[in-house]
Structure 1
Amino acid sequence: MSCPSSPLIENYLREASFWHVANIGQGCKLDMKLISAFVERWRPETHTFHLPREECTITLEDVQLQLGLPVDGFVLTESAQSADWGAICYDLLGAILDTIYGGRIDMGWLQDTFLALGDDSTEVERVRYARAYILQIFRGYLMPDVTVRFSVVSKIVF
């Protein structure tokens, strides 16, 4: 993440159950040797860590406990199809990206467009900033190897 979340959007992040995720890494020291050891023991074909005594995997409950994300309630199962991604982009974020490929947005544009939130910002601006921040959370923490689509943020309602 390019910067910590603004206190002005804390309530929106809490309402969307992303407050805990937004604070990952704050005051946390990473042990690169430990991370390297786990990376070497990860087997992507079985989605498990191969440890000296047995195998270990990460469960949905582990994710819930570590990230504080809810794993019960409504699920996202549909695919968002749209002919006018620019209109969706403007509706959700208040700005339009020059090129949108099938709902995919460029994270560099997102960071450049939502640099800082002023103390005099309106509620609409804060909601849009919170949505942009949540998209950055998806790209930075939750799914760093995939492209974030608008269908993800369109389900986040404040």
Structure 2
Amino acid sequence: MKRRLFIIALLSTFLSTLSCIPCCGQKHQRGKASYYSKRATGARSASGQRIHHDSLTCAHRYYPFGTMLKITNLRNDKSVIVEVIDRGPFGRGRIIDLSWAAAKEIDMISQGVATVKVERLDNPVPFKPEDSKLPKIDFEMAEFEPDHYFEKKEKAPHHRHTP
């Protein structure tokens, strides 16, 4: 009986620990998205940047600032790539707040709230090769020993001409 209770306690501890892991470890997330009003333009975000309604940015609770995310509206399959510059949304059952321009890109302005899929982009520039085939260059300076590289020339004695 004690062993059974121990196993149950161990399992519940393990499962509660898993539920505390932020979404950064997940490949994608689904949920409700809202967007900033145009009136938020000029306000400072949590990263210190100013919010602008024409920029493709977002607020997310866990992803680090500067992370690029692909947001897909599940109603029409339109997507946009945004950068995380703020924290939030908190409460209201939302997982992400988009800038006005990002919301316009995925046609959610008239709805106000949309069901979206959020994917973290590992390589935000799709045409940039993952593995570069260029050789590595060693930029260390070689030791300079002037005796080996240059011969010292004897200077001719300087003669003074006297009038």
Provide the TM-score with structure 1 as the length reference.
Answer: 0.21
Provide the TM-score with structure 2 as the length reference.
Answer: 0.21
Structure number with the bigger relative contact order (C-alpha 8 A, sep ≥ 6) is: 1
Higher strand residue share: 2
Higher helix residue share: 1
